[in-house]
Amino acid sequence: MLSVELDALSALYLGLSIDELCTIYRTQFPVLRGYEKSDLYDLNGRKVPPTVAKKVTKDLEPDLSPIIDRRWTHPQSGIEYTFEPPFRSFDREEDMRTAYAKFSKMLEEHGEIIEDGE
């Protein structure tokens, strides 16, 4: 989320519209966009490995999937993780639009932009 907020603030500082910011994201970062559309994250913000993601997305209601289907052992460390529902992906464009609107409103309310370290 910090990255999204920094993108929105940078766009505002540079005078870019939110549509221009989203266009830059789509055209300059297509690989990142692809990953973000397909990756799932659990309740704790942990990226769900593809083997677990396949199991939980097969269910119509992933919250009800058995606990065994949500377990995964890290191959190098041997640590076992249990991923907690709900599982979701992120929409960076939607998040950027939200952040942009929030910061635009804040700037309008305060009526000034700090320039040159003032």
* φ, ψ dihedrals at 6, nearest 5°: -65, -40
Per-residue pLDDT, averaged over 17-44, amounts to 92
pLDDT tens figures, 35-84: 888 888 888 989 999 888 887 766 545 555 566 678 899 999 999 999 88
Asked whether the predicted pLDDT for residue 103 surpasses 70, the reply is: yes
| pTM score | 0.69
- DSSP string covering 6-72, please? HHHHHHHHHT--HHHHHHHHHHH-HHHHHHHHH--B-TTSPBPPHHHHHHHHHSSSGGGS-GGGGEE
Q: Which helix (H) or strand (E) segment is 104 a member of? A: helix 92-110
